[in-house]
Amino acid sequence: MPLRRWIIPFVLLATCVGAVSAHASGVVQSQARTILKSRDLGKTTISAFATDLTDDRVLIRINADEPMIPASNMKLLTTAVALGVLKPSFVFHTDLRIIGGNGQTPQSGGVLLLAGDGDPALGDPELLKTTHQMHLDQMLQHWVDAVIRAGIRHVARLAVDDRVFDRQWIHPDWPEDQLNRWYCAEVAGLNLHENCVHLYAQPTALGQTARVTMRPKLSAITALSRNRAITAKTDTFWVSRKFNTNKMTYRGNVRNRRRPPVKTTIHDPPLFAAELLAERLRDAGVAVDTVGHVEHDEHLPEGRTLLRWMTPLADVLTRCNKDSQNLFAEALLKRVGRHMTGAPGSWDNGTAAMRKWLTVRLGSGASLIQISDGSGMSRNNRVSSRLLVQLLRTMVLDPELSATYVNSLAIGGLDGTLKKRFRPSPMGTVHGKSGYINGVCSLSGYLVYGDANDTIVAADREDAGRRRVIAFSFLFNNIKPPVYVRKVRSVHEELVRMIDSHVAPAREPARLGG
């Protein structure tokens, strides 16, 4: 499904036409406090800020400078920095190259090099389906066909070069008991298929071992796996993976055929990709002697490129923000570090690069932002609602970055993590980013009025006041029972709808305070 494209080089209107009156903004602030007080949120801590970008009038300001854990709202920072540093035209590329030998005999087998660029979307099931109209096995067949077309029938060594990033694949802040789950996928210089395998469980006879199918199938992993899942009258199927290995154990009960699959992370994604390609090559009659990493200090000639797989930055940003893909955010952070330093991308140089860019963009206030990772999984990230709105403002006003950035956000009631929210929709369109980790729930983004495909370029247009943008950020921390995330999300939506009821441009100015 093609993405909706925005053309939004927003120019703030100098006029007060369509702007929120001082009285109306006061009412919005008062009603926001009333909502928060009346919803019995217990000891939940709140930082909330909202601004009408037409004239920068503040609508909501509640503990706006309090540093908060942002959860996945951290991705708003990461994707903004990646877009600002790498630029909208940036394209990830993964190369398959042959180095030396003619590859036709054992004596002349060369090195088949799989060289990564940090692309988190390589073999991503969603993008393969929507952009390339294929699945992973078909993509791998393209690589195999490229080798065969080159006349290669023997490879002495299949080497994977993932040195664009370091090999610290797991962030130290991530919860150890969740490292087998898709949102904690390892982060590498060469990634494939979200760095996960998909496991499909099917029942057999009651009391007997269930049938489990792995996609993509890799013999080295299936040989290590143990199946303890039982066909039963309940469904509790799950998968464990031994730390720092690909030894998996299927557990629990299976009653029905599982769709969608259980996604389980794999260890050492670059080697996983190389071994998967080697297995497909061998199946096609191409001999492969050894498979492994390129060493840190190893020098290899450039060789001849057999195939280049490319992913536009915009596709990565969209999957990152609309679908809250953690792997994509972390790869962007490390790729920014690589771009800025020339050294292998890491969490250290990536966070340093983020701080530098944000300081230029937001000024000295950026020093208050604490950056630990790019996705928001870490509980050591901190940012205030005011600074998030300040970032949203500067991004939507940037004629070079605005369209790509806003298009990457989920649309309320339509797609991504907001697909089932904001129904019925407010008069304005919500373009935002939700976020959740234990005890934390956040929502930040834009409330937009007017045709999304129109351009706001002048203050003298008769309908200029009808094309407005509200930027907002609601960060809630320390959520504890009996308060649950469902309730907090409802409050977030209530705040947006309340703003909408007062600022929607179609309303007559006389009604704004009523």
Print the SS3 string covering 183-209. HHCCCCCCCCHHHEEEEEEECCCCCCE
Q: Does residue 473 have a pLDDT over 50?
A: yes
Q: Does residue 213 have a pLDDT over 80?
A: yes
Instruction: Give residues with Cβ within 8 angstroms of 185, minimum separation 6.
Output: 191, 194, 195, 196, 265, 269, 326, 327
Identity of the residue numbered 71: A
Domain residue limits, the chain: 1-65+409-514, 91-312
- The pLDDT of residue 140 is 97
- The pLDDT of residue 103 is 53
Q: Does residue 106 have a pLDDT over 90?
A: no
Residue 468: pLDDT band by 50, 70, 90 thresholds?
confident
166: helix, coil or strand?
Answer: coil
CB under 8 A, 24+ apart: contacts of 178-185: 179/241, 179/243, 179/265, 180/239, 180/240, 180/241, 180/264, 180/265, 181/263, 181/264, 181/265, 182/263, 182/264, 182/265, 183/326, 183/375, 183/377, 184/265, 184/326, 184/377, 185/265, 185/269, 185/326, 185/327
- The pLDDT of residue 137 is 95
Average pLDDT of the residues in 78-88: 98
Distance CA 338, CA 486 (A): 39
Distance CA 149, CA 145 (A): 6
Q: What percent of the chain has pLDDT over 90?
A: 85
Q: Which token pair is 471?
A: 């930027």
- The pLDDT of residue 511 is 27
Lowest mean pLDDT among 133-147, 176-190, 369-383, 495-509: 495-509
Q: Rounded to the nearest 5°, which phi and psi values hold at 473?
A: -150, 125
- The pLDDT of residue 22 is 61
Q: Does residue 188 have a pLDDT over 90?
A: yes
Q: Does residue 156 have a pLDDT over 60?
A: yes
End-to-end CA distance of the chain: 41
Lowest mean pLDDT among 124-138, 278-292, 334-348, 465-479: 465-479
C-alpha distances out from residue 420 to 74, 318, 412, 425, 489, Å:
22, 18, 7, 10, 12
Q: What is the pLDDT of residues 265-274, one digit of tens each?
A: 999 999 999 9
- The pLDDT of residue 24 is 65
Lowest mean pLDDT among 19-23, 110-114, 426-430: 19-23
Average pLDDT of the residues in 160-188: 97
Average pLDDT of the residues in 4-30: 54
Q: What is the pLDDT of residues 274-305, one digit of tens each?
A: 999 999 999 999 999 999 999 999 999 989 99
Lowest mean pLDDT among 13-22, 200-209, 361-370, 490-499: 13-22
- The pLDDT of residue 504 is 85
Contact indicator for 170, 195 with CB cutoff of 8 Å: no
- The pLDDT of residue 514 is 27
Residue 23: pLDDT band by 50, 70, 90 thresholds?
low
Question: Of all residues in the chain, what percent are helix, strand and coil, respectively (each to 5)?
Answer: 35, 25, 40
Q: What percent of the chain has pLDDT over 70?
A: 89
Q: Which token pair is 259?
A: 């769709």
Minimal CA–CA distance to 254: which of 221, 217, 286, 229? 229
- The pLDDT of residue 258 is 77
Side-by-side strand order, sheet with 196-202: 211-215, 196-202, 262-265
Q: Does residue 401 have a pLDDT over 90?
A: yes
DSSP for 453-493, please give it: TS----S-STTGGGS-EEEEEEEEE---TTS-HHHHHHHHH
Distance CA 292, CA 343 (A): 22
Distance CA 475, CA 433 (A): 11
Q: Does residue 17 have a pLDDT over 60?
A: no
Domain 1-65+409-514 has CATH 3.30.450: yes
Residue 11: pLDDT band by 50, 70, 90 thresholds?
very low
Q: What is the pLDDT of residues 295-337, one digit of tens each?
A: 999 999 989 999 999 999 999 999 999 999 999 999 999 999 9
Identity of the residue numbered 168: Q
- The pLDDT of residue 365 is 92
Identity of the residue numbered 441: C
Q: How far is CA 402 from the centre of its chain?
A: 18
- Hey, which residues does 469 pair with through a beta bridge? 448
